Amino acid sequence: MVARYDSGVRARSFADVKRAFSTFRAGEGASTDRPGAGERRAAVAAVLRQAEHGLELLFVVRAKSERDPWSGHVAFPGGHFEPDHDESLVDTAIRETCEEVGVRLYRRELLGTLPRISPLSPVRVNAHSLVVSPFVFAVRASSDSVRERDVDGDVPRSGFASEASGWQGNREIDQMFWVPLQRLAESLVQSARNRQRASGHSMVPDGLPHIWLRDGAPPLWGMTYRVTEILVDVLTASNAADSAIADDVAESVADHR
């Protein structure tokens, strides 16, 4: 995949994000329909908020648990499709985000859909049979769609990442923090240029790209890294209608399967 974000993030508002996705061809994997019987499907929410310096993206660090194959990883909020509770994969992303971090999302705030993807987890049994659909949402601080203590408040605007105000963690999520898209793009560019594959962290297998988002958190790598890279690519492309973007995204996803 050719990095298109050298010049920085072009999307500065929710309206910019919607315009980018209006011409982005996410392909077959963009379906929001209800999964068929027997399909192993999950959904994650890439949540954006507006800050003074531009858009910020929400990340979490999953709590350590022997039952969670992604224990302790940097991730987006999300989880498995539950047929008794969810009508579609969008509902899955909305429900899981509320359950995990208390952020309420709404369909009307859905900005776009990214290609479905499978975790790159060769050591995890049946990991490749799980298909994950990423959805991009807006969250507005002035609405009732978020808990005030989790998103609003006196949150530091300097530094690479800012902790969600008042966040205490729970049995599923240890950390919740926001990262400016501009700085995220700069970090992805640096990672691509240096091609430094040695992680220095036991969590990341040798040969896989990764970046560090903040002190006290593990590196971003694997499926969440790939989803982040695709999202930033869509939002920084000089021409969102360029069909080459979709080709690069498809190539990126295929290369990591």
Torsion of CA 147, 57, 130, 20, to 10 degrees: 120
Angle in degrees, CA 87, 134, 202, rounded to 5: 125
Distance CA 181, CA 165 (A): 19
Amino acid at 125: V
Q: Are 146 and 152 in contact (CB under 8 A)?
A: yes
CA distances (Å), origin 209, targets 134, 152, 187, 195? 20, 32, 11, 8
Distance of CA 211 to the CA centre of its chain: 14
Residue 10 confidence (pLDDT): 79
E-assigned strands of the chain? Answer: 41-51, 54-62, 74-75, 78-80, 110-113, 131-139, 162-163, 173-180, 210-211, 220-221
Amino acid at 45: A
Enumerate the β-bridge partners of residue 80: 42
Residue 239 confidence (pLDDT): 44
14-252 under CATH 3.90.1300.10, yes or no: no
DSSP 3-state percent helix, strand, coil across the chain (nearest 5): 30, 20, 50
- Pairing assessment for the beta strands 131-139 and 41-51 based on DSSP bridges: parallel
* Domains of the chain, residue spans: 14-252
Distance CA 64, CA 97 (A): 18
Residue 201 confidence (pLDDT): 61
Tens-digit pLDDT string for the chain (257 aa):
444 555 567 788 999 999 999 888 766 555 566 766 667 899 999 999 999 889 999 999 988 876 666 678 899 999 999 999 999 999 999 999 999 999 999 999 999 999 998 876 544 545 557 889 999 999 987 444 444 333 333 333 333 444 544 445 567 898 899 999 998 988 888 776 555 555 556 666 666 788 888 888 888 988 999 999 999 999 987 444 444 444 555 455 444 44
Distance CA 184, CA 202 (A): 23
Distance CA 33, CA 207 (A): 35
Sign of the C-alpha dihedral, residues 7, 30, 140, 157?
negative
